[in-house]
Structures are given as structure tokens and as C-alpha cells.
């Protein structure tokens, strides 16, 4: 049975170790997932941590078309995080890599292990700015104004 492709958006971030290299490596690794192909990637952005302390984050948002279901994709994201040394000592802790499934087509998923759309994506400049680069129809001016006070700069 052939599965339909779904357009998904994944947030990529890191603020420990060589964050720029880790984000670039993660995007390349995501592009190699089975039944998945990259459609677009934002510029890299440097942003201040939100709701925590620590070094600045390097962030990007990447769009893919995939035939994986949301839970298969999530399992792959978590494996990539683990391979990059991700630990979860406490909520919003600094991290070697953070991969967030932001949008999965038009699906709405509310389970103990996954919430899509990502529940805090519209509160974060480090998601909205890069997302607006590759999918301007997904972000509006009101949403961008709401996060305008958060420090973020486009790198490349």
C-alpha cells in the first residue's frame, strides 16, 4: 500500500556544543529519513533562550514531504536527538539538539506523546521568523508582532 505524502514543518535548534554544525548536521540527517524528502529550509537564526537561561540557540525550520505517519516521524526525530547527545534533565534545559514537529499537514494530534500543531510555536520568534521565510502563509503579521520583543537575528 502506498501512503500519501504530507507536508510537515520541523523546528531545529541547539545551544550546546558546536550548535551551528549540529543544526546543519541534523537537517542533513532529516533529509535522509525513509519516505521523506526535503522541500525547503530556512536560514539559520541566533536567538535568546525562552523561559530558561543558557547560551543562545541556533535555530532553523525545515519543510519536508513524508509518507511517515506523525508517530513514526516523531520516533525518528527522537532517535536523531539521542544520536546527537540530547539529554532531558529538566524542562527547557540547554540542549545539544532539539527537533520539534511543528505542523503535520492539516492534522491535529493531541496525545500524551505528541501535540500537533506544536502547542507553543506561535509564542516563539525562533519558530515564527524562520517559518515565515519558507512558508509565509503559515505566519501572519499579528503573530509576528506578538513575538517582536524576543531577541533573534538571521545568520545565513
Q: Does the pLDDT value for residue 61 go beyond 70?
A: yes
CATH superfamily of 6-154: 7,8-Dihydro-6-hydroxymethylpterin-pyrophosphokinase HPPK (3.30.70.560)
Rounded to an integer, the average pLDDT of 105-118 is 93
pTM: 0.93
- Is a pLDDT exceeding 90 seen at residue 52? no
Query: 28-48: per-residue pLDDT in tens?
Result: 999 999 999 999 999 999 999
Contacting residues for 62 by C-beta, under 8 A, at least 6 apart: 9, 10, 12, 27, 30, 38, 40, 41, 42, 134
**Phi and psi torsions of 115, nearest 5°:** -130, 120
Least confident of 22-36, 63-77, 84-98: 84-98
74: confidence class by pLDDT, cuts 50, 70, 90: very high
Q: pLDDT tens across 135-148, in order?
A: 999 999 999 999 99
Residue-level pLDDT at 153 = 96
Please list the active-site residues.
86, 95, 98, 100
- Between 83 and 37, the more confident residue is 37
pLDDT, position 2: 63
The mean of the pLDDT values for the chain is: 91
Amino acid at each position: 500500500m502506498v501512503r500519501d505524502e504530507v507536508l510537515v514543518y520541523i523546528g531545529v535548534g541547539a545551544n550546546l556544543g558546536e550548535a551551528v554544525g549540529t543544526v546543519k548536521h541534523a537537517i542533513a540527517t532529516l533529509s535522509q529519513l525513509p519516505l521523506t524528502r526535503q522541500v525547503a529550509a530556512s536560514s539559520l537564526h541566533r536567538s535568546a533562550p525562552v523561559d530558561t537561561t543558557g547560551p543562545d540557540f541556533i535555530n532553523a525550520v525545515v519543510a519536508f514531504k513524508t509518507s511517515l505517519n506523525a508517530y513514526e516521524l516523531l520516533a525518528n526525530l527522537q532517535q536523531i536527538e539521542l544520536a546527537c547527545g540530547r539529554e532531558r534533565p529538566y524542562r527547557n534545559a540547554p540542549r545539544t539538539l532539539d527537533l520539534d514537529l511543528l505542523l503535520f499537514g492539516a492534522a491535529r494530534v493531541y496525545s500524551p506523546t505528541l501535540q500537533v500543531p506544536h502547542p507553543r510555536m506561535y509564542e516563539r520568534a525562533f519558530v515564527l521568523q524562520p517559518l515565515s521565510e519558507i512558508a509565509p502563509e503559515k505566519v501572519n503579521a499579528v503573530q509576528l508582532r506578538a513575538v517582536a520583543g524576543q531577541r533573534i537575528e538571521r545568520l545565513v
